[in-house]
Amino acid sequence: MKVGIIGAGTMGSGIAQAFAMTQGYEVRLCDIKEEYAQAGFAKIQKNINFLVSKEKLSKEAGDAIISKIKVGLNDICSDCDLVVEVALEKMEIKQQIFKELQNIVPKDCIFASNTSSLSITKIGEALDRPVVGMHFFNPADRMKLVEVIGGEKTPSDLVEKIKNISIEIGKTPVQVNEAPGFVVNRILVPMINEAINVWAAGTADAEGVDTAMILGCAHPMGPLHLADLIGLDICLAIMEVIHNETGDDKYLPAPRLRELVAAGKLGKKTGEGIFSYK
């Protein structure tokens, strides 16, 4: 099966790696600029080289994985059986990507979106085929969960097919009904948002908030470090979607979260967020 990954950032490159490491899959890693796609490919090469250095993979196996990945713009997806869109969490961007892909990919190519919170039904409206949600978690090459979401026009057999593909690439699929934030982010991101409010109010410093949640709730990572890992811009986008879709002010993004994102302090990927990584 040939799989196109549309978006070569942190999530896209991780998803591409998960497919490339599975027998029977070839990958097309794409972005809006060739250099962005190449940067994502470089991340995968680095990860594979690390696995080889730790003797988790043989050199031959690592080379074989890398050779299965083709890099470029969206037009290299012309022979794909499945495309997974991994673009910014903006409805109009995702809709436009799929609209353009209709004229590139075969008529029977499956459209899947890695959206973390947006309506699958709205993403797929006005398209010539249904869309299915295939939501991975960061780091996508290692995290086992995939939320599989059907919209109003998504056939049940398509949902089942994506669940089976998820299993083939070593993931555990959970079928989720369409709702703002789905399951994980509907629970997780409001918790992160409240942790930011607690920190901003001075109830405890950032390390204190995380230590309390690690030791008091047996979390493997504190919510503030997790926010930096996910990306504060991603957390903000998800909170905005949940708030807009539900109309419930308990989902209002924390003011401090907005301030950090506006300042370009997005977390680990920029070297600074709630914590400093420089």
Contact at 8 Å (CB) between 77 and 83? yes
Contact at 8 Å (CB) between 153 and 124? yes
Interval 130-145: pLDDT, tens: 999 999 998 999 999 9
Banded model confidence at residue 72, pLDDT cuts 50, 70, 90: very high
* Domain of residue 9, residue span: 2-177
* CATH code of residue 99: 3.40.50.720
Q: Is residue 278 part of a domain?
A: no
Banded model confidence at residue 92, pLDDT cuts 50, 70, 90: very high
**Coil, strand, or helix at residue 173?**
strand
Positions marked catalytic: 116, 135, 147, 185
- For residue 63 the two structure tokens come to 């080379």
pLDDT of residue 229: 93
**pTM (global) more than 0.85:** yes
| CA dist., res. 63 & res. 57, Å (int) | 10
Interval 249-261: pLDDT, tens: 999 999 999 999 9
**Helix, strand, coil % over all residues of the chain, rounded to 5:** 50, 15, 35
Phi, psi of 28 (to 5 degrees): -115, 110
Last residue of a domain, one of 177, 192, 220: 177
pLDDT of residue 278: 87
Interval 203-229: pLDDT, tens: 999 999 999 999 999 999 999 999 999
Interval 20-56: pLDDT, tens: 999 999 999 999 999 999 999 999 999 999 999 999 9
Q: Is residue 277 part of a domain?
A: no
